[in-house]
C-alpha cells in the first residue's frame, strides 16, 4: 500500500491499485473535483474502494458484494466486464491492426455502421460515430442547422430534459442548475414534456414568423431519464412525429439512455412506431468497455448536410470511429441482440416492478409510486411534511433538512446497510434510480425490495437522526436529534 508520505514522484501503472484511499481522495481534491469528494462523503461513498466488478455486482476491498442499480447512468446494460465484450477487446488487440488511422477506408467503422443501419428502424442508414452522448446530440443539432442551410436555427425541447453538458446540448437541457451561467438562447422554446399540444402551438407560432419558420428540430428523449424517469402519454411521440412532418422540422430523438433494450425495445421509438429524422445513441453502445456514441440519420438529410467533397470533413472527430472502439461496440451490439436485451428488460422489469409496487403499498407515507418501463425504473419518494413542533430550528428549518437530506440518507442506508448502490436522478432528486444492468437476473434483484422495506420501515425521523447527527450536533441542535431519535 502506497501511503500519503511514501508516494513516488511519478507513478507507474502497477502502483495504482496500491494507492491508499486517503491518497486517492487527496488527489481527487487536489486535481479533479474537490466538492465531489465532499458530496461522496455526505453519502458515505468516499470510504468504499471497489476492486472488482462483474455483471451487476461490485466487490469492495474488504470483500463485500454490492448490487449496482445505477449502471453508470444507464451505460452498463451489459453489466460490468461482460466476458464477450472483454474478449472482443482482447481479440482486437491481438490482431495488431491500427486503431487510429483515418486516411484509408477502415473495415471497423464500416461494419459497425452496417450493423447499426440494419437494426435501426426505417431508412436511418447514415452513421456519424463519436465518443459520448452529448457529442451525439450536438451532431444532431449541427446536422439539422446544416440541412436548413442556417435558415432554421432554433430547437424546441422539453422541460426536465437532459441531453448532455457541453455548450450546444446545454441549450436544450431543461434544468437551470446544469445550464448554470451558460448564457441561454431565450428564444428556443421549452415546452412541458408529454404535451403535444404545446409543441403544436410553438410550431404554429413559428410558422407565422415574418421571415419564415426558424425551428430546425424538436429534440426529445422518448422516455425522460434524468428528468425523473417519465414515460409520456401513449401516442405522444407519434403525434409529435406528425407535427414535425407537417411543419418541416426534424424530429431528433435522444436515445442515449433508452437504446439497446433498456425500455423493453431495442430502440424506444419502435414502441411508438416512430422513425425519427435523427437518432442519437451512446452509453450502452460501447458495451461498458468502449466509449462510443453515434448520430444516425437518413441518407437524404446526410446528403443535404455533408454531401459534397467540400463538406465531407466538416463534421469529424479524431477519436470518433476508431477501430478498437468500433470492434468492441460491434460485439456489444451482437450481445444485445443475441442475449435478447429487450426481452430481458421486459421480463426482469416486470418482476422488479411488481416487487417495487409491493414496497410502495407497504410505505404509502414515504413513497408515491414506481415510474418507468422495462428496466428503466424509478421509485418516487413522497414529500414528507414535518409536523408543527416546538423545536429550536422551527418547522421550516427541519423541513429544509428533511428535504435536503432524506433522499441521500435513504441511498446511504441502502449502500451501507444492504449493499445496494442506487442514486437519485439528476433533474429530479426525489426519484431513486432503479437501472440494473440488463444482464441481471430475478435472483440478483431479489434482495432489492426487502432492503427498501428495511430502510423505509425506520421512518424518516429515525433515518434522519441516524445520519445527520454530526451536522445537527455541530449546529447545537442536540434537542432536535434527541427528538428525532425518540420518534
Ligand X SMILES: Cc1ncc(COP(=O)(O)O)c(C=O)c1O
Output phi, psi for 394, to 5 deg.
75, 170
| Choice from 162, 172, 220, 480 touching ligand X (CB under 6 A) | 162
- For residues 69 and 57, give the distance between their C-alpha atoms in angstroms, rounded to a whole number: 9
Residues forming a β-bridge with 190: 157
Residue among 225 and 228 whose Cβ is closer to ligand X: 225
Residue with cell 418482476: 351
Contact between residue 262 and residue 438 where contact means Cβ atoms under 8 Å apart: yes
Residue among 284 and 484 whose Cβ is closer to ligand X: 284
- Which residue in 250, 281, 253, 265 sits closest to 127, CA to CA? 281
Query: For 284-328, what is the HEC assignment?
Result: HHHCCCCCCEEEEECHHHHHHHHCCCCCCCCCCCCCCCCHHHHHH
Closest contact distance (angstroms) between CB of 280 and ligand X is: 7
| Choice from 46, 68, 206, 221 touching ligand X (CB under 6 A) | 221
Closest contact distance (angstroms) between CB of 206 and ligand X is: 24
Residue with cell 430534459: 161
137 lines the binding site for ligand X (CB under 6 A): yes
Closest contact distance (angstroms) between CB of 36 and ligand X is: 15
Q: What cell numbers appear for 444 in the block?
A: 440478483
Residues forming a β-bridge with 156: 218
427 lines the binding site for ligand X (CB under 6 A): no
Contact between residue 420 and residue 427 where contact means Cβ atoms under 8 Å apart: no
Residue among 106 and 120 whose Cβ is closer to ligand X: 120
229 lines the binding site for ligand X (CB under 6 A): no
225 lines the binding site for ligand X (CB under 6 A): yes
Residue among 136 and 249 whose Cβ is closer to ligand X: 136
Residue among 57 and 178 whose Cβ is closer to ligand X: 178
- For residues 183 and 199, give the distance between their C-alpha atoms in angstroms, rounded to a whole number: 24
| Choice from 164, 286, 342, 349 touching ligand X (CB under 6 A) | 164
Residue among 144 and 481 whose Cβ is closer to ligand X: 144
| Choice from 132, 171, 329, 423 touching ligand X (CB under 6 A) | 132
- Strands of 55-95 (E only): list them: 57-60, 65-68
Q: What cell numbers appear for 189 in the block?
A: 422554446
Closest contact distance (angstroms) between CB of 141 and ligand X is: 12
Output phi, psi for 219, to 5 deg.
-110, 120
Q: What cell numbers appear for 319 in the block?
A: 477519436
| Residue, CB closest to ligand X | 133
Closest contact distance (angstroms) between CB of 68 and ligand X is: 16
Piece of the chain touching ligand X by CB under 6 A; list 187-195, 253-261, 294-302, 447-455: 253-261
Closest contact distance (angstroms) between CB of 433 and ligand X is: 11
Residue among 177 and 208 whose Cβ is closer to ligand X: 177
Which chain residues interact with ligand X by CB under 6 A? 73, 132-134, 137, 162-164, 221, 225-226, 254, 256-257, 282
Amino acid at each position: 500500500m502506497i501511503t500519503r508520505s511514501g508516494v513516488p514522484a511519478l507513478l507507474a501503472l502497477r502502483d495504482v491499485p496500491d494507492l491508499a484511499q486517503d491518497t486517492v481522495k487527496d488527489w481527487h481534491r487536489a486535481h479533479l473535483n474537490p466538492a465531489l469528494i465532499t458530496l461522496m462523503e455526505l453519502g458515505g461513498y468516499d470510504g468504499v474502494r471497489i476492486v472488482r466488478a462483474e455483471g451487476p455486482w461490485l466487490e469492495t476491498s474488504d470483500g463485500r458484494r454490492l448490487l449496482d442499480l445505477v449502471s453508470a447512468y444507464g451505460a452498463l446494460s451489459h453489466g460490468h466486464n461482460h466476458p464477450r465484450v472483454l474478449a472482443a477487446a482482447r481479440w482486437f488487440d491481438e490482431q495488431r491492426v491500427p486503431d487510429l488511422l483515418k486516411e484509408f477506408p477502415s473495415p471497423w467503422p464500416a461494419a459497425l455502421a452496417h450493423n447499426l443501419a440494419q437494426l435501426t428502424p426505417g431508412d436511418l442508414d447514415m452513421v456519424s460515430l463519436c465518443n459520448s452522448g452529448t457529442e451525439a446530440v450536438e451532431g444532431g443539432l449541427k446536422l439539422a442547422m446544416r440541412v436548413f442551410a442556417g435558415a432554421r436555427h432554433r430547437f424546441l425541447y422539453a422541460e426536465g430534459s437532459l441531453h448532455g453538458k457541453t455548450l450546444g446540448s446545454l441549450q436544450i437541457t431543461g434544468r437551470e442548475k446544469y445550464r448554470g451561467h451558460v448564457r441561454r438562447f431565450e428564444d428556443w422554446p421549452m415546452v412541458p414534456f408529454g404535451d403535444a399540444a404545446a409543441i403544436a402551438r410553438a410550431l404554429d407560432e413559428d410558422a407565422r414568423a415574418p421571415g419564415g419558420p426558424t425551428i430546425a428540430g424538436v429534440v426529445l428523449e422518448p422516455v425522460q431519464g434524468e428528468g425523473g424517469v417519465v414515460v409520456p402519454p401513449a401516442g405522444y411521440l407519434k403525434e409529435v412525429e406528425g407535427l414535425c412532418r407537417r411543419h418541416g422540422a426534424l424530429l431528433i430523438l435522444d436515445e442515449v439512455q433508452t437504446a439497446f433494450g433498456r425500455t423493453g425495445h431495442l430502440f424506444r421509438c419502435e414502441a411508438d412506431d416512430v422513425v425519427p429524422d435523427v437518432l442519437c445513441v451512446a452509453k450502452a453502445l460501447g458495451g461498458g468497455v468502449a466509449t462510443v456514441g453515434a448520430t444516425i440519420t437518413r441518407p437524404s438529410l446526410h446528403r443535404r448536410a455533408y454531401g459534397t467533397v467540400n463538406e465531407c470533413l466538416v463534421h469529424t472527430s479524431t477519436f470518433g470511429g476508431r477501430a478498437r472502439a468500433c470492434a468492441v461496440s460491434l460485439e456489444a451490439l451482437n450481445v444485445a441482440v443475441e442475449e435478447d436485451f429487450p426481452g430481458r428488460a421486459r421480463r426482469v422489469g416486470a418482476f422488479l416492478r411488481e416487487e417495487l409496487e409491493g414496497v410502495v403499498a407497504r410505505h404509502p407515507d414515504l413513497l408515491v409510486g414506481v415510474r418507468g418501463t422495462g428496466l428503466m425504473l424509478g421509485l418516487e419518494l413522497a414529500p414528507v411534511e414535518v409536523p408543527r413542533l416546538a423545536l429550536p430550528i422551527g418547522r421550516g428549518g427541519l423541513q429544509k433538512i428533511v428535504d435536503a437530506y432524506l433522499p441521500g440518507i435513504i441511498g446511504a442506508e441502502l449502500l451501507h446497510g444492504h449493499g445496494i448502490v442506487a442514486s437519485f436522478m439528476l433533474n429530479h432528486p426525489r426519484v431513486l434510480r432503479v437501472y440494473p444492468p440488463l444482464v441481471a437476473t430475478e435472483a440478483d434483484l431479489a434482495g432489492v425490495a426487502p432492503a427498501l422495506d428495511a430502510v423505509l420501515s425506520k421512518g424518516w425521523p429515525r433515518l434522519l437522526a441516524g445520519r445527520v447527527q454530526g451536522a445537527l450536533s455541530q449546529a447545537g441542535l442536540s434537542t432536535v436529534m434527541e427528538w428525532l431519535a425518540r420518534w
